[in-house]
Structure 1
Amino acid sequence: MTDTSIDSLQIGMHWFNERPGGLDRMFKALIDTLPDQGVNVRGMVAGTPGVFDVSGGRVLAFAGAQSQLGTRLWGSRRQSRALRAAKMPDVVATHFALYAAPTVGVFRRVPKVVHFHGPWAAESFPGGGGGWSRAARVALERFVYRSGTRHIVLSQAFGRVLHETYGVREDSIRIVPGCVDVAHFNTRATKREARGRLRLPQDRPLLFCMRRLVSRMGLEDLIDAMAIVKPMIPDVLLIIAGKGPLEAQLQARIVSRGLERNVRLAGFVADENVPLWYRAADLSVVPTVSLEGFGLTTIESLAAGTPVLVTPVGGLPEAVAPLSSELVLPSSGFRSIGEGIADVLLGRRVVPDAEACRAYAGAHFDRPVVAAQVARVYREAISAF
C-alpha cells in the first residue's frame, strides 16, 4: 500500500448482490479491495436504498434499477452533483456508459478512468440489428469513452474493440484482468463432499457450465457437443447453471437430442454455492461464440481447482493459455467442443491438476493482485491529467 491515499468516485451499473453480473461483480470487488491499495472509494449505482448498508456506507443508489430511463439518468446526474458537493474526488472511474453520460461536465477538472467491461450496444443486440437504438448506444459509448484520461480493459481482445470501434487512442489503454475472491472459491470441500452436498452422483464424469442463457454464450453448441461425447462416455453428465431467455429453447434442444439423462439445466445458483458446483465437477466448459472480453467464470473454476476448457473467442485464451494451451480449443462449434471434452475425460488431452489451477488463479487474478494494478492506473491518470 502506498503512503499517499487518493479519493475515487466509482460509477457502476448495479450492486452485485441485487443484480448479479460480471460487471457488477468486478465493481463490488474494487469497492471492497481498493481501500487496501490507498484508494478511498465512494460509488453510485442503480439499485435499492439497501445498497448503502450492505456496501458499508460506500455506495449509494441514485434510482431503482427498474425505474424509468429518465428517472435513472436524472438520478445519476443529481447524485453525482451531491457527491461532488460533499467532496471533489481525485479521480472518477466509470464502469457503465449509460450512467456515466449524465455526469459529463460535473467533474470537468477531474481525471477519468474508463473501465471498459464490454461493448454495451453490441451486447444489447447480439444477433445484429437494433437500428437507431443500437446506433444511439454506440454514439453514447463513444462520447463517454473518448472523455477518459486512461482506459482499463480486461484483455487485448477488448483493447482492440475499444480502439477500433470507439476510436480510443491505443496509448491510453491499459490491460488489467478480471478478478475473483480466490479464498471464496477455494472451498475446503473435497470433490466427493461437494457432490454429496449438492446431491450429485458420485460415479459419473461431471461437467459444469455457468452462463447466462443467451445466444452468444454458445450453449446450443455445448448441448450439441454432448451428442458427440455421449457415445464415447455414456454416463457423462453436464450441468448448465444460469437463467435467461433461452431456457425453454435449450430444454427443448436437450430433449430433441435425446440427452435428458446427460444434460441438466440447474437454473439460478446462489453465489455462496457456486464454489461447490465448480469443485464437484471434473471439468468446466466455457463455449462462448462472441463478445467475451475475459470470462470471469474461467477464473472462478480455476480458483476452485477445476480445469476449464474454453473456445478461442475474445479474451478467453488470454485468461487460461499461460497456464496451459491445452485448455484452449482449436475452434468454436459443437464438434470441436465435443472432441475436446471427450479427449480430456479420456485422458488424451492433459490439463492442469487442481493445485496448479488454484496456484495460477491466486497468483494472477486474486482481488488484491488486480486491485493493485487498478490503483496504479488511477495514479497514472492523475499524474497525466
Structure 2
Amino acid sequence: MTTRQSIHSLQIGMHWFPERAGGLDRMYYSLVGALPGAGVHVRGVVAGSPKVAQDSNGAINGFGSASRSLPFRLMDARRALRREIAGHRPDVISSHFALYTFPGLDVTRGIPQVSHFQGPWADESFVEGAATLSQRIKHSLEQSVYERSSRLIVLSKAFGDILTKRYGISPERVRIVPGCVDTAHFDPACSVAEARMKLQLPQGRPIILAVRRLVRRMGLEDLIEAIKTVKTRHPDVLLLIAGRGRLETELQQRIDEADLTDNVKLLGFVPDAHLPALYRAATLSVVPTVALEGFGLITVESLSAGTPVLVTPVGGLPEAVAGLSPDLVLPATGAEAIAEGITGALSGRIKLPDEAACKAYAREHFDNAVIAKRVAGVYAEAIAAAH
C-alpha cells in the first residue's frame, strides 16, 4: 500500500460521525480516515462543532451547528468552501452530500468533482412524508451537483440505475464502489457467550438483531409481524431493534398489541462502542428494508463480527451479501418472507455461512483500506479527464 499523498482532496460531508450517527456520516468518517493510506491527502468540511477539527487534527472543519436553520447552514457551507479553497486549492472536490456542495458550485468551478451518490435524497424524503414541492426542490439541487461531477461513485448497481434514470447521468461517468467499514473495529475479541454476558443478554435464546433508523422505509413493521410467526415455531426467539426514529411509539404499540413484549425489545440508540459486541451476541442479523437501500452498511458490520445477515431483495442489499451466499437474500419483502427466512435459518434448513467465512468476506471486500484504494482510483480518473 502506498502512503505517498499524491492527490489533494476536499471532502464535503454532512455531519461528523462522532457527533451525529448515520450511515452516510459513518461512511464519510471511515473513508476520510482511510484515504491517506491510499495516496489521497484529505481536507474536508461538515456541519459540526469546533470539536471536529480537534478530532481530525485539523483535517476536517465543522462550519457550524447542524441545528441552525437551513439558510444559515448553506451560507456557512459556502464560506467554509471558499476559505478551504483559498488556503488549500485541491486537485479534486469530493461531494458526499449535495446540499452542502450546492452553495459552493461557483467557488469550486474549474476543479474536478466526484460525487459519492449514497442515495436519492429527494426520493428518500418523499418516502418519509416530505411534501411534493420539497421533493422537487431537493431533486433539482441534487441534479445541479451531479451534472457538475465528471465521475460519480455509487454503492451498488441498483443505485447506479437510479442515478442514470432519475437524474439522467450518463452511465459512462458512473463507477460502482461499495461501502466501507473498519472491519477490525467490528470484530471484538470475545465469544458469543462473552458478548451476551457483557451486554446482559440471555445465553440460551436465539437472538435476531436489526440495527436501523426507526422510519417507514426500513420495514421494521414487517419484521415485528414476522416474529409473530417465528414465535410459533421458536417460542424463545428474541428480536432486538437498535436505533431511534419517529416510529418508536408506533412500533412499541405494535409489540404490545401482538403480545410480543417478551420477544421483541426496542433498544433505542446503541453507542458505537457497544455495536460490535451486540452484533457478535446475535445469532442472526436481519435487514428488512422495503425501499431505497443503496448498500446497507449494517450488512458488512454484522459480517465483520462473524454474524450472518438476511436481507430483503431491495436496492443494493443483494449485491452486498450474495457473493458470500445467495441464501442470505430473501425471496421477497414482507412479513411472510422474513418469517420464512428466519425460521429456515434457526432450524438449519437454510445453511448460513460460519463465523470465519463472514469475517473473511467482509475483510476482503469491504474493509476501509480496500475501498479507499478503489475510491482513489476514481479520483485519479476524474483529475485525468479534466486535463
Q: What TM-score do you get using the length of structure 1 for normalisation?
A: 0.99
**1: CA distance between counterparts of 2:227 and 2:31?**
38
Provide the residue aligned with 1:296 in structure 2: 297
**2: CA distance between counterparts of 1:74 and 1:129?**
23
Per-residue deviation, 1:314: 0.3
Per-residue deviation, 1:59: 0.6
Gaps of 5+ in 2: none
Per-residue deviation, 1:185: 0.5
- The 5 Å alignment of 1:14-25 reads 14-25=15-26
Secondary structure, in 3 states, of the residue corresponding to 2:277? Answer: helix
- Decide whether aligned partners of structure 1 residues 159 and 219 sit closer, same or farther in structure 2, where only a CA change above 3 A counts: same
Secondary structure, in 3 states, of the residue corresponding to 2:110? Answer: coil
Secondary structure, in 3 states, of the residue corresponding to 2:364? Answer: helix
- 1:48 has 2:49 as partner: yes
Provide the residue aligned with 2:201 in structure 1: 200
Provide the residue aligned with 1:317 in structure 2: 318
Does the CA-based 8 Å contact 2:128-2:215 persist in structure 1? Answer: no
Does the CA-based 8 Å contact 1:222-1:287 persist in structure 2? Answer: yes
**2: CA distance between counterparts of 1:173 and 1:111?**
15
Per-residue deviation, 1:179: 0.6
Secondary structure, in 3 states, of the residue corresponding to 1:134? Answer: helix
Partner AA of 1:91 in structure 2: V
**2: CA distance between counterparts of 1:92 and 1:189?**
41
Per-residue deviation, 1:127: 4.8
Per-residue deviation, 1:2: 6.8
Secondary structure, in 3 states, of the residue corresponding to 1:146? Answer: helix
Secondary structure, in 3 states, of the residue corresponding to 2:127? Answer: coil
Per-residue deviation, 1:125: 1.9
Partner AA of 1:217 in structure 2: M
Secondary structure, in 3 states, of the residue corresponding to 1:185? Answer: coil
**Cα RMSD between the aligned structures?**
1.0
What is the percentage of aligned positions where both structures have the same residue?
56
Provide the residue aligned with 1:343 in structure 2: 344
Q: Moved runs in structure 1, 4+ residues, more than 2 A?
A: none
- Decide whether aligned partners of structure 1 residues 138 and 29 sit closer, same or farther in structure 2, where only a CA change above 3 A counts: same
- 1:176 has 2:177 as partner: yes
Provide the residue aligned with 2:221 in structure 1: 220
Provide the residue aligned with 2:95 in structure 1: 94
Per-residue deviation, 1:332: 0.4
Per-residue deviation, 1:57: 1.0
- The 5 Å alignment of 1:1-385 reads 1=2, 3=4, 5-127=6-128, 130-385=131-386
Task: Note the alpha carbon deviations across 1:128-159, whole angstroms, 9 max, x for none.
Answer: 66121111111111111111010000000000
**1: CA distance between counterparts of 2:67 and 2:129?**
25
Comparing 75-84 with 240-249, which one deviates more in the overlay? Answer: 75-84
Partner AA of 2:329 in structure 1: V
**2: CA distance between counterparts of 1:209 and 1:69?**
32
Does the CA-based 8 Å contact 1:159-1:173 persist in structure 2? Answer: yes
Does the CA-based 8 Å contact 2:31-2:180 persist in structure 1? Answer: no
Partner AA of 1:133 in structure 2: S
Partner AA of 1:135 in structure 2: R
Does the CA-based 8 Å contact 2:8-2:41 persist in structure 1? Answer: yes
**2: CA distance between counterparts of 1:123 and 1:46?**
20
Comparing 371-380 with 57-66, which one deviates more in the overlay? Answer: 57-66
Per-residue deviation, 1:175: 0.3
Secondary structure, in 3 states, of the residue corresponding to 1:184? Answer: coil
Per-residue deviation, 1:298: 0.3
Per-residue deviation, 1:87: 1.8
**1: CA distance between counterparts of 2:5 and 2:45?**
24
Task: Note the alpha carbon deviations across 1:53-93, whole angstroms, 9 max, x for none.
Answer: 01121111112100111111111111111111112100000
Per-residue deviation, 1:123: 1.2
Secondary structure, in 3 states, of the residue corresponding to 1:151? Answer: strand
Secondary structure, in 3 states, of the residue corresponding to 1:66? Answer: coil
Partner AA of 2:12 in structure 1: I
Partner AA of 2:36 in structure 1: P
Partner AA of 2:33 in structure 1: D
Partner AA of 1:134 in structure 2: Q
Per-residue deviation, 1:258: 1.1
Secondary structure, in 3 states, of the residue corresponding to 1:121? Answer: helix
Q: What TM-score do you get using the length of structure 2 for normalisation?
A: 0.98
**1: CA distance between counterparts of 2:73 and 2:206?**
47
Q: How many residues align?
A: 385
**2: CA distance between counterparts of 1:96 and 1:3?**
27
Does the CA-based 8 Å contact 1:122-1:128 persist in structure 2? Answer: no
Partner AA of 1:322 in structure 2: G
